[in-house]
Amino acid sequence: MVPSQSNTVPATVVNDQTGIGPRLRARRKVRGMSLQQVAARAEVSIGLLSQIERGLSMPSVRSLRAICAALEMPVGWLFDGPDAGQPDPVVVPRHRRRVLDLGDKGMVKELMTPDDCRGIQMMRLVIRPGGASGSTAYNHPEGAKCGTVLSGVLGLELDGVTHRIEAGDSFAFDATRMIRFWAEGVDETVVIWVVSPAVY
């Protein structure tokens, strides 16, 4: 089972000076919004938002989507990717994948589908030992999720029931179910994760 993590301020200092936090802060400045305004719209604390902007804390998926919605920006803008002109609407070469490093959550997500494909989204998740989606289960209002474990062992909790998914095993479930997931053991876990509709 994944170790319990705080819902507010993680004990680990992330020091994410070039990633999510500074990009959110830049977008907030462009929009001319205060920390208080964004926090109120996203329904997160001002303190947490400030720590996220300063690169000292990483938001949950739910909080990240809420903050981006408050800033009227797609979450996809936070993914790193090579700037090589107009992307192909069908093919995403390996070297062109956009990457989101979730820092203290111990997870890196690589987008494997083009941005224009909103009906479905495929990601490659690399979960470091001890890495997890968070201590609180979450869900989405519609759609489905499926995937396969390429290496390592994935711990997956669905509606309070824990599943151990080993390399070569696959899974599928409705996105409305409450989930948490994490890397089990001492090895890195690599997962191909598919969601419908796209969430980033």
> Which residue, of 78, 112, 127, is where some domain finishes?
78
Question: Does 2 have pLDDT greater than 90?
Answer: no
93 three-state secondary structure: coil
Output 55 or 84, whichever has higher pLDDT.
55
Do 114 and 175 share a domain, yes or no? Answer: yes
Mean pLDDT of 155-172: 98
Mean pLDDT of 156-175: 98
Q: Is residue 11 part of a domain?
A: no
Residue 81 pLDDT class (50, 70, 90 cuts):
low
**pTM (two decimals):** 0.69
Q: Helix 35-42 vs helix 46-53: angle between axes, to the nearest 10 degrees? A: 110
Q: Quick one: tokens of 148?
A: 């396969």
Instruction: Compute the mean pLDDT over every residue in the chain, rounded to the nearest whole number.
Output: 85
Q: Residue 87: its pLDDT value, please? A: 66
CATH of the domain at 185: 2.60.120.10
Do 52 and 102 share a domain, yes or no? Answer: no
Percentage of residues in the chain with pLDDT exceeding 90? 52
Q: Is residue 86 part of a domain?
A: no
Q: Is residue 60 part of a domain?
A: yes
What are the percentages of helix, strand and coil residues in the chain, rounded to 5?
25, 30, 45
Q: Is the dihedral of CA 19, 178, 2, 48 positive or negative?
A: positive
Q: Residue 16: its pLDDT value, please? A: 47
Residue 13 pLDDT class (50, 70, 90 cuts):
very low
* Domain hosting residue 27, numbered range: 20-78
Q: Residue 82: its pLDDT value, please? A: 59
Residue 171 pLDDT class (50, 70, 90 cuts):
very high
Q: Is residue 13 part of a domain?
A: no
Question: Does 14 have pLDDT greater than 60?
Answer: no
Q: Which of 138, 146, 161 is nearest to 1 (CA)?
A: 161
- Gap between the Cα atoms of 189 and 167, Å rounded: 9
Q: Which of 158, 199, 162 is nearest to 178 (CA)?
A: 158
Long-range contacts of residues 30-36, Cβ cutoff 8 Å, at least 24 apart: 31/71, 31/72, 33/70, 33/71
Number of neighbours of residue 74 by Cβ within 10 angstroms:
14
Do 133 and 181 share a domain, yes or no? Answer: yes
Q: Which of 117, 97, 99 is nearest to 108 (CA)?
A: 99
- Gap between the Cα atoms of 114 and 91, Å rounded: 7
Q: Residue 17: its pLDDT value, please? A: 44
List, for residues 104-152, the tens digit of each pLDDT value. Answer: 789 999 999 987 788 999 999 999 999 999 889 999 999 999 999 999 9
Question: Does 169 have pLDDT greater than 80?
Answer: yes
CA 7 to chain centre: 15
